[in-house]
Structure 1
């Protein structure tokens, strides 16, 4: 802190040792010199008016920016205390404190606050735009769901009618056409194939609509063993037909937070795929295990079927991906499984080797 005393002519009569560091001079050499000559014209102009008021008898407390010389500017907090004797002001005491660091810090804070205001305005604008986009996307998704449902529903009846007409036409032609005429049966087969492909498309649309609806199903605590047993009973005919062995290892009290309908779909898809894509040269053996491994419930479905190459594994969860064409399917099942699992924060992975078998591992939040 600078401590000094100025007389009425504004000459230093006293100054402390702190003046040495600010003005690079011996403090004693400053005594008797005008303050203007010591601090410089610009700094003097910044405080001259306050000096007038101090010499008029007013006690002052103020802050100012003092450009003492080139490259040396200070922000100061100053007290002027008049020296009054016999009713006359004969000078005043000066107390000057360096507040440069505080002022610069406040300026930086103010600048940052201004930047934050701008950023907040930009964020608010971006949030508004994002909200508008999300609302539009929601409306689009609703419209898409409605379209898929309506299209799959409205197209089903006409296709069924066409299929019925084809069957009737086939019976009529078979009764009247010459046995040597091979063209008519060929055309009928082509028409029947077109109808069946159309039916597959409708089934795909129905599956997608079902997936969209599944996303909104509420979760609840589900008994895993009960769901697995229900699926096993549903698949009993397929298991018998394939002479497949299903080995289940699930604790009776194991529960998971999931939509019951979705959990059934997940288990059904994995088990039915294991049966469908069995290896023709050996008895199918499918193992399903579910257990709690904190912080998750882990499902493992393992088979000894056809297996998958590395390339096929990369395509496995894509929409409408069919990697084996010798059995019926829409290419939607595993896509739906992955979506349902990920919708609740879970994961699904696959490990497989061609001609050896495949293992699916699902982790669901406990």
Structure 2
């Protein structure tokens, strides 16, 4: 009698432990796996569904062909304890019967009777749906990041190839410019000498002839333009060397004023109203000669390419930015289309051919 009371006490204690346990626990009895016991946590997975006293395949028909059912059968038939991690279990929602993906960590153990025979299966389950979904999301994000990283790597490789090609092109262009400016000097000098000799040898009457005088003037202008172009090409070939030397602090306002004075005759002839807004304390770390060339090119172009149907106005201003100084030259001149803007700083690019020029000045400005 005492032994029976002791067993009953142990059974009650074990039942109370199962009822209060944080895990979902059930006991399936016999080969049909009939629900003999389940604690509240287990019942929470199946709200409003009657499980006690029903065989597993009748209580949860959605599991009949699922691995969870066959695993429990295997435990009952073999006596082997089975552990399963993040097992996917589709369960019907009570309200609409739609299958919902759930994930569980399971421990399934055989239960033995007093004769040592298997008479049931004990199931301990812990839902890990949120953890699995978070892990799946992380894996999905990792795949997306890997794809983005692969795209960035490919793009960087393409950019590296493009930069290498641009570097080679720039080197070839610098070599061409140097060679052209060097090799053209002698022929142009010879032409200039021939024109001078021609002026000296021609009789005065011939030189004074209207047609001949016009031709000689055209020759002089052509030679001067060639010499100007060669000088600019020489400046381009020297430009790279100018970058090598250390920059020095240059006060911007005096440079702008010096250029304004140099352009005073052109400004007066064009009737250009030039407005300058440069703080006297602005200092630019730059090559003084290069800085003057930039200001000169920008201002002279603003005057040169003015519109004939309105008074010419040019504004030059400088603004201090956090890590730089922005120099802006704005005018109300001829303007440019989007296509012309893309060509603006190209070598030998001339967007308005009715005005004299070589298409080199802004290229030099950009390279500086």
Unaligned runs of 5+ in 2: 1-22, 93-97, 307-311
Equivalent residue for 2:227? Answer: 199
Contact kept, 8 Å, 2:248 with 2:285, in 1: the verdict is yes
Equivalent residue for 1:64? Answer: 87
Name the SS for the 1:76 alignment partner: strand
1:207–1:131 CA distance, 2 compared to 1 (3 A): same
- 1:172 deviates by 1.6
CA distance in structure 1 between the partners assigned to 2:129 and 2:292 by the alignment: 71
TM (norm. structure 1) is 0.64
Equivalent residue for 2:135? Answer: 106
Count the aligned residue pairs. 324
C-alpha distance after superposition, 1:103-132 (max 9, x if no partner): 344334334433433443343233222212
Equivalent residue for 1:132? Answer: 161
C-alpha distance after superposition, 1:322-350 (max 9, x if no partner): 5884xx6545445654x36xx8xxxxxxx
Aligned counterpart for 2:196 among listed residues 159, 167, 177: 167
Unaligned runs of 5+ in 1: 279-283, 344-366
Equivalent residue for 1:5? Answer: 27
Aligned counterpart for 2:64 among listed residues 15, 30, 40: 40
Contact kept, 8 Å, 1:4 with 1:15, in 2: the verdict is yes
- 1:14 deviates by 0.9
CA distance in structure 2 between the partners assigned to 1:230 and 1:63 by the alignment: 79
Matched, 1:15 2:19: no
Equivalent residue for 2:176? Answer: 147
Instruction: Name whichever of 160-169 and 82-91 sits farther off.
Output: 82-91
Equivalent residue for 1:354? Answer: none
Name the SS for the 1:41 alignment partner: coil
Matched, 1:27 2:57: no
Equivalent residue for 1:347? Answer: none
* Root-mean-square deviation over aligned CA pairs: 5.0
1:313–1:258 CA distance, 2 compared to 1 (3 A): farther
Contact kept, 8 Å, 2:181 with 2:234, in 1: the verdict is yes
Matched, 1:320 2:350: yes
Contact kept, 8 Å, 1:64 with 1:76, in 2: the verdict is yes
TM (norm. structure 2) is 0.64
1:210–1:24 CA distance, 2 compared to 1 (3 A): farther
Equivalent residue for 2:126? Answer: 97
C-alpha distance after superposition, 1:153-210 (max 9, x if no partner): 21122111111112212322336x7689766555545544543443354345445556
CA distance in structure 2 between the partners assigned to 1:334 and 1:8 by the alignment: 94
Contact kept, 8 Å, 1:207 with 1:332, in 2: the verdict is no
User: Residues 1-366 of structure 1 correspond to what in structure 2 (within 5 A)?
Assistant: 2-9=24-31, 10-17=33-40, 18-19=42-43, 22=46, 25-30=49-54, 33-34=55-56, 38=60, 39-43=63-67, 44-52=69-77, 55-56=79-80, 58=81, 60=83, 62-67=85-90, 71-83=99-111, 88=116, 90-174=119-203, 187-206=215-234, 208-209=236-237, 219-224=247-252, 227=255, 235=262, 253-269=281-297, 297=325, 308-309=332-333, 311=335, 318=344, 319-321=349-351, 325=355, 329-330=357-358, 332-333=360-361, 336-337=364-365, 339=366
Name the SS for the 2:202 alignment partner: helix
